[in-house]
C-alpha cells in the first residue's frame, strides 16, 4: 500500500507525511511546476501545468489498496474504479456509496458557474485545527482498516 497526494492546493501535505512516516508507508506527492513542495520522507513528483496532469499521473500509478488524498471528485472516481481508496483534505472518505452524489454536486456547481450565478454555498471557510483533526482521525482509521 502506498499513499498518493494530489498536492496542488492540498492543506494536509505535511500532516500526511507525518502520519505516513509513523506507519512506514510509501508516500508520493504529485504537484505541478507552480508549487514548491519538498519533503524529506516522501517522493515528490512534478508534472507539467496542463489541466489534470497530476490527476492523470495518479490515476495511472494507483494500485488496488492504495490511498489517494484529493479534493477532485473526478480523480476520486478513477481511483475507486482502479480499486484504490480515497479521502479528501477534510477527512471525508470517498467511496462507491457517495461518489455519484459528489459528482452530481460537482456537475451542478460547474453549470452554475457557467451561468455566472452567485453561489453562497461555494465559499470556503478558513481552515482550522478541527478540520486537521477530522482529516487525521479519518486517515488513520482508513490506514488501520486496510493495514
> What is the pTM assigned to this prediction?
0.85
Contacts 24+ apart (CB under 8 A), 101-106: 102/73, 102/76, 103/73, 103/74, 103/77, 106/73, 106/74
Distance CA 116, CA 38 (A): 37
Does domain 2-146 fall into CATH 1.10.287?
Answer: no
What pLDDT digit, counting tens, does each position of 28-39 carry?
999 998 888 989
Distance CA 81, CA 113 (A): 28
What pLDDT digit, counting tens, does each position of 64-112 carry?
999 999 988 889 999 999 999 999 999 999 998 888 787 777 666 667 6
- The mean per-residue pLDDT over the stretch 111-130 comes to 67
Q: Which residue has the cell 504529485?
A: 30
Amino acid at each position: 500500500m502506498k499513499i498518493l497526494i494530489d498536492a496542488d492546493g492540498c492543506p494536509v501535505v505535511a500532516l500526511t507525511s507525518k502520519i505516513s512516516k509513523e506507519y512506514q508507508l510509501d508516500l508520493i506527492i504529485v504537484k505541478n511546476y507552480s508549487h514548491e513542495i519538498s519533503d524529506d520522507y516522501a517522493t515528490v513528483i512534478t508534472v507539467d501545468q496542463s489541466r489534470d496532469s497530476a490527476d492523470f499521473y495518479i490515476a495511472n500509478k494507483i494500485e488496488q489498496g492504495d490511498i489517494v488524498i484529493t479534493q477532485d471528485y473526478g480523480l476520486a472516481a478513477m481511483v475507486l474504479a482502479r480499486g484504490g481508496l480515497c479521502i479528501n483534505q477534510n477527512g471525508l472518505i470517498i467511496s462507491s456509496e457517495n461518489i455519484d452524489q459528489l459528482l452530481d454536486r460537482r456537475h451542478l456547481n460547474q453549470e452554475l458557474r457557467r451561468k455566472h450565478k452567485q453561489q453562497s454555498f461555494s465559499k470556503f471557510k478558513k481552515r482550522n485545527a478541527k478540520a486537521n483533526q477530522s482529516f487525521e482521525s479519518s486517515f488513520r482509521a482508513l490506514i488501520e482498516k486496510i493495514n
